[in-house]
Structure 1
Amino acid sequence: MWRRSSSWIAAVLLAGGGLVLADAAPAQGWKPERNVELTIPSGPGGSNDIAGRIIQKLWADLNLLPVSSAVVNRAGGGHLVAYTYVQQRSGDPHMLGVMSTPLLMNHVEGRTPLSYNDLTPIAYLITEPMVAVVRADSPIKTAKDLLETLKTNPNALSIALTSTGHRVSVGMPMQKAGVNVKAVRTVVFKSGGETTNAVLGGHADVQITSVSTSVPQVSAGTMRALAVSSDQRLGGVMAQVPTWQELGYQSSGSWKGVMAPKGITPAQVAFWEDVMRKTAQSDDIRQYAEKNLWLVEFKGAADTRKWMQEQSASLKAVLGGLGLIKQ
């Protein structure tokens, strides 16, 4: 569940994403000796892309690495292409990746045997709410309209998302409203940018995405937000958008973190954990807070692994209740 706090993180979509150089080296212990790659599990324009690029920018701005770094988008398979790529680089401490909700969802749903145990979680960094949005001229004006339409006919609307796991944020309200969740039409795209274009182009009716992805279109008036997966109303352009909770429904948000391949050494884990802690604690992050509505909740490697174990068990119960686990 997403909660607000006085500590915020946000990100902006930065042009480029090529080579970034940093000058300073860490004080002691292991350190990278060649270019570092940060793999993003989606295409340009979505929240994973935004997060990855801001992380890389802060590595450079804060002089946290003694080597260059580069962002590489590896979209496809509901994030599986990127996760598998990182997994295959076993023992390579110069390969990192942005991890998010689908890493757990895909495994729990039975879509892949790959799990967080096949990787090295480095840090949990961001908690973010999810939002249901439609085109500004859509006949679906409210979250109530959405649920009532799907209850009458679960095939009446197509829902665009970047992972089947994102169905949970709206699936829980749907189930309580009496919608046949398994019968709802969903279309998986490679990035939040693609889901946005699909709705704007009339190729999909509803977008389920992170708030940061939807802020530009909602601000411009081209899309309308129906409800957010937050315990409290958000600020900025989302201030007038109701939460699922105030409408009487439970929902779930999303998160972002950083992972490495399995097989790296404890010293290498410690280096990257320290880099991510400094990234999360930097003053530079806070200037983006209100724009993207992300909450920083840093967890180190051990705490992240423990959280992922607990979250996987919780998701299994939720997805099972929604009928979304493959038999």
Structure 2
Amino acid sequence: MRFLMHGFCLVACSLLAPYEYAHSATPECIVPGSPGGGGDLTCQLIKSALAEAKVFNEPMQVSYMPGGVGAVTYNTIVVQRPAEPDTLIAWSSGSLLNIAQGKFGRFDESAVRWVAAVGKSYGAIAVRSDSPYQNLDDLVKALKKQPRRVLFGSGGTAGGQDWVQAALIAKAAGIDIADLRYIALESGGESATALLGGYTEVSSTDVFESMPYVRRGQMRLLAVLAEQRLDGELKDIPTAKEQGYDIVCPVVRGYYLGPNVSDEDYARWKTLFDQQLASDQFARLRAERRLLPFALTGDELQAYVQQQVKHYKALIKDLRKE
């Protein structure tokens, strides 16, 4: 089975003259989790981009709203803060996966206004640098022998993005997914803390979230869950595919707005993102955060979100019938 999102298109937009709509309000980007994870990275990206482009008179505020791996934020925006024109909320493929399973309560993907997808990364399987597991085969052998002795820890609940990655590894090992030992943590930052502290043995994570720890010699990556090896400092990390496990898990990142944000303000943000995504400046900032190019805005993004939620519903159904 492949956990793979097919196709994406780069929105082609001409660069407009310097922004004509600098607002006096203080913009906000909400991280639906704790500091240090992928949501934080996503908000810091747009904060830096807006600061360099001098779009607002005040720097963007990044705030944190952990709880329910995004559910608290989603419900708060829909119910209590639905019309704030300059409040962005970070989302990822994991958000869509949770929506597909009804984990955001009574609200589905139509409850908010998806404005931009700006980059992607890939899942990875990480261990401490002193782990006995040297590759995926070592991990799979351990799972086959004593599945209840291998403890995974990741940001997100059972059924979330990181859990799916772990479940696909368990499936490759031929074990019942019900026997998978998995601790759900609030964010990638907490997952790293648990792994390095010895509370977990394996982290199903995001490759770029893990790299700071890899550089410091604290973690090793057993595999990146990409179609082929990535470039640069990741070139020596093998894919799951080349180790014999056909598992590919992209992670798309972006932003949404509240459901009652006006069409005018939504269009303003769409135009801004179209400009940013076509600029060398944004490409540089995205690369600095180790995100790969991925660009969708407006109606194209809305259609993508709907397609992905449908895809995830089928994926989870298939995994849980094993």
The interval holding the TM-score normalised by the smaller chain is 0.7 to 0.9
Q: In the alignment, is residue 253 of structure 1 matched against residue 250 of structure 2?
A: yes
Residue 154 of structure 2, aligned match among 129, 150, 161: 161
Counterpart position of 2:14: none
Q: Which structure 2 residue ranges, 5 or more long, are not aligned?
A: 11-16
Q: Give 1:2 shift.
A: 7.3
Q: How does 1:267-286 map to 2 (within 5 A)?
A: 267-286=264-283
Q: In the alignment, is residue 75 of structure 1 matched against residue 71 of structure 2?
A: no
Contact in 2 for aligned 1:130/1:211 (Cα 8 Å) = yes
Q: In the alignment, is residue 51 of structure 1 matched against residue 42 of structure 2?
A: yes
1:38 maps to amino acid? C
d(CA) in 2 for partners of 1:45, 1:68: 20
Residue 98 of structure 1, aligned match among 81, 90, 95: 90
Contact in 2 for aligned 1:234/1:293 (Cα 8 Å) = no
d(CA) in 1 for partners of 2:298, 2:146: 45
Contact in 2 for aligned 1:235/1:290 (Cα 8 Å) = no
Q: Which structure 1 residue ranges, 5 or more long, are not aligned?
A: 8-23
Q: How does 1:309-320 map to 2 (within 5 A)?
A: 309-320=306-317
Residue 216 of structure 1, aligned match among 190, 212, 219: 212
d(CA) in 2 for partners of 1:310, 1:266: 23
Q: Give 1:225 shift.
A: 0.2
Assess, with a 3 A threshold, how the Cα gap between structure 1 residues 324 and 45 changes in structure 2: closer, same or farther.
farther
Counterpart position of 1:192: 188
Residue 120 of structure 2, aligned match among 96, 108, 127: 127
d(CA) in 2 for partners of 1:138, 1:170: 17
Contact in 2 for aligned 1:134/1:140 (Cα 8 Å) = yes
Q: In the alignment, is residue 87 of structure 1 matched against residue 88 of structure 2?
A: no
Q: Give 1:290 shift.
A: 5.7
1:91 is paired with a residue of what secondary structure?
Answer: coil
Q: Deviations over 1:244-294 (max 9, x none)?
A: 222231231211111001022221111011122223233223445666432
Counterpart position of 1:15: none
Q: In the alignment, is residue 41 of structure 1 matched against residue 32 of structure 2?
A: yes
The runs of at least 4 consecutive aligned structure 1 residues that moved more than 6 Å come to 2-5
Counterpart position of 1:136: 129
Q: In the alignment, is residue 225 of structure 1 matched against residue 228 of structure 2?
A: no
Counterpart position of 2:235: 239
Counterpart position of 2:13: none
Counterpart position of 1:146: 139
d(CA) in 2 for partners of 1:289, 1:33: 26
TM-score when scaled to structure 2?
A: 0.87
Q: In the alignment, is residue 112 of structure 1 matched against residue 112 of structure 2?
A: no
d(CA) in 1 for partners of 2:213, 2:253: 22
Contact in 2 for aligned 1:34/1:68 (Cα 8 Å) = no
Q: Give 1:242 shift.
A: 1.2
1:296 is paired with a residue of what secondary structure?
Answer: coil
Residue 51 of structure 2, aligned match among 60, 80, 88: 60
Contact in 1 for aligned 2:122/2:206 (Cα 8 Å) = yes
Contact in 2 for aligned 1:211/1:293 (Cα 8 Å) = no
Contact in 2 for aligned 1:83/1:103 (Cα 8 Å) = no
1:304 is paired with a residue of what secondary structure?
Answer: helix
Q: In the alignment, is residue 294 of structure 1 matched against residue 286 of structure 2?
A: no
d(CA) in 2 for partners of 1:27, 1:51: 24
Assess, with a 3 A threshold, how the Cα gap between structure 1 residues 195 and 324 changes in structure 2: closer, same or farther.
farther
Assess, with a 3 A threshold, how the Cα gap between structure 1 residues 130 and 60 changes in structure 2: closer, same or farther.
same
Q: In the alignment, is residue 262 of structure 1 matched against residue 259 of structure 2?
A: yes
2:242 is paired with a residue of what secondary structure?
Answer: coil
Q: In the alignment, is residue 183 of structure 1 matched against residue 179 of structure 2?
A: yes
Identical aligned pairs, as a percentage?
25
Contact in 2 for aligned 1:129/1:254 (Cα 8 Å) = yes
Contact in 1 for aligned 2:148/2:180 (Cα 8 Å) = yes
d(CA) in 1 for partners of 2:283, 2:99: 33
d(CA) in 2 for partners of 1:155, 1:280: 45
Counterpart position of 1:21: none
